[in-house]
Amino acid sequence: MSSVTQLLLLMLCICHSAIARARLDDALKAEAVCAQPQVSQSSSSGATVRLSHGYGPCSPAPSTDEPTITELLHSDQLRANYVQRKFSAGKNGTEPSDLTVPTTLGSALGTLQYVITVGIGSPVVIQTMMVDTANDVSWVYCRSSNGSTLFDPSKSTTYAPFSCTAPECTQLGTRGNGCANSECQYNVDYAAVANSTGTYGSDTLTLTSSETVTSFQFGCRENEGAVAGKTDGIMGSSGFLTLGAPSDTSGFVSTPMFRWGAVPTFYGVLLQDIAVDGKLLNIPPSVFADRSVMSAGTIISRLPPAAYAALSTAFKAGMTQYTAAPPRSILDTCFDFTGLTSITMPNITLVFDGGVAVDLDGNGILIADCLAFAAATTPDGVPSIIGNVQQRTIEVLLDVGQSVVGFRPAAC
């Protein structure tokens, strides 16, 4: 792992419109949201790049084929399977090979919901990239038949491919894909029918008009894919994207960060308990022994079955005034709010190692009129996942140098 990785300080704030009913369809059609201030004073003294929902009205890459909530959740389940099964694979040194992806959603990449706009190269080529804190290799599409908006490394005066023997190539580990024309090749295998391969190199990354990152490492993917028409690539988070250290950490509560030796891609936290309306569920410590992955690319949090059952039961007890509804895809704690313009619901608090309590925003509790959590379907020994719905309005600080994960509530 490079020394740059050890200094990573990444602030990620996933914002969502403030709405009375936490429904995905309402939120995504809230045209007025884009005209309103979305972020409070940043805690970072570095560059700030706007983060938008990939299917939202403020997206720099608006989609004309927005998936249904059922399609979105099905694809998200495949994404969660991929993240969790990498841990099983890491134990025996192999990659998962039996995942399938719905072609109607353009592969598992379509589940990575938040995007940023940055510039790459000299002269700068503007790229819209998905953000994923559970992906360790950033990449962009390079050259294509239409080629007008894609990055072309041959036209950048600052682009340099890594040689096959360069340390940057060696550190790819299982993400390396051999050598071609004396240039380092990378490979990210998202699933059996979705992967990204190409040349691994570096160039200048432009975050704002005054903030640039030199020698930004990324892959140049020349094989076309279904997401090419919507975004230009994936912005991973494994140590080379630095947005700056917080100028004031007084608003953050912090818990230790965990990394897994076999799969160092991920940033982990230890979830110790959950509270509903201030009352702890008293979930046994052994239930969360495998810790949880912080993922900006997974929508719905996956909890160990025992933890999810306890949360579901307690949440239902606080929603008895509403009619229960049938399950929706992977969500089974659902309600019928027909005819209602506002609802009340129990507060949910995630309690992390060290007694750090993080209250979820209302938009981080319900989605599509269902509790925005699901039971993990993976075996023991595989971490649960904290998805991006539960991170809404919270500024999340991933500080690799200090090995802490910080949370600043009501940041946006």
Report the run of H or E that residue 28 belongs to, with start and end: helix 24-28
pLDDT, residue 250, reads 79
This prediction's pTM = 0.63
Taking only the tens place, the pLDDT of each residue in 211-257 is 788 888 999 987 554 343 455 666 656 322 345 666 677 788 999 99
Sort 20 into a burial class: Cβ within 10 Å, 0-12 / 13-18 / 19+.
Answer: exposed
Helix, strand, coil abundance in the chain, percent, nearest 5: 20, 30, 50
DSSP code string of 132-183: -TT----EEEB--SS-SSSB-GGG-TT-EEPBTTSHHHHTTGGGEEEEETTE
123-137 burial, b at 16+ Cβ within 10 Å, e below that, comes to eebebbbbbbbbbbb
Residues 70-97 have a mean pLDDT of 60
d(CA 395, CA 82): 25
pLDDT, residue 96, reads 39
Strands ordered across the beta sheet of 9-13: 9-13, 395-399, 404-408, 253-256
Provide, rounded to the nearest whole percent, the portion of the chain with pLDDT above 70.
60
pLDDT at residue 135 is higher than 90: no
pLDDT at residue 154 is higher than 70: yes
d(CA 366, CA 221): 37
Taking only the tens place, the pLDDT of each residue in 170-199 is 888 767 778 999 999 988 765 444 567 889
- Closest by alpha carbon to 318, among 373, 278, 273, 287? 278
Read off the DSSP letter of residue 4: H
Report the run of H or E that residue 3 belongs to, with start and end: helix 3-6
Report the run of H or E that residue 197 belongs to, with start and end: strand 194-206
Domain ranges of the chain: 253-408
Taking only the tens place, the pLDDT of each residue in 266-285 is 888 999 999 999 999 999 98
Radius of gyration of the chain (CA): 21
pLDDT at residue 288 is higher than 50: yes
Q: For the structural domain made of 253-408, what CATH number should be given?
A: 2.40.70.10
pLDDT, residue 145, reads 46
HEC secondary structure over 40-92: CCCCECCCCCCCEECCCCCCCCCCCCCCCHHHHHHHHHHHHHHHHHHHHHHHH
pLDDT, residue 194, reads 54
pLDDT, residue 31, reads 43
Q: Tell me the two tokens of residue 208.
A: 């704002």
Taking only the tens place, the pLDDT of each residue in 326-382 is 999 889 999 999 998 889 999 999 999 999 999 998 888 998 899 999 998 766 666
pLDDT at residue 307 is higher than 80: yes
The residue with greater pLDDT, 156 or 400, is 156
Count of helix runs (H) and strand runs (E) in the chain: 5, 27
Taking only the tens place, the pLDDT of each residue in 94-132 is 443 332 222 222 233 344 456 677 889 999 998 877 766
List residues bridging with 200 in a β-sheet: 219
Distance spanning both ends of the chain, measured CA to CA: 33
d(CA 80, CA 382): 11
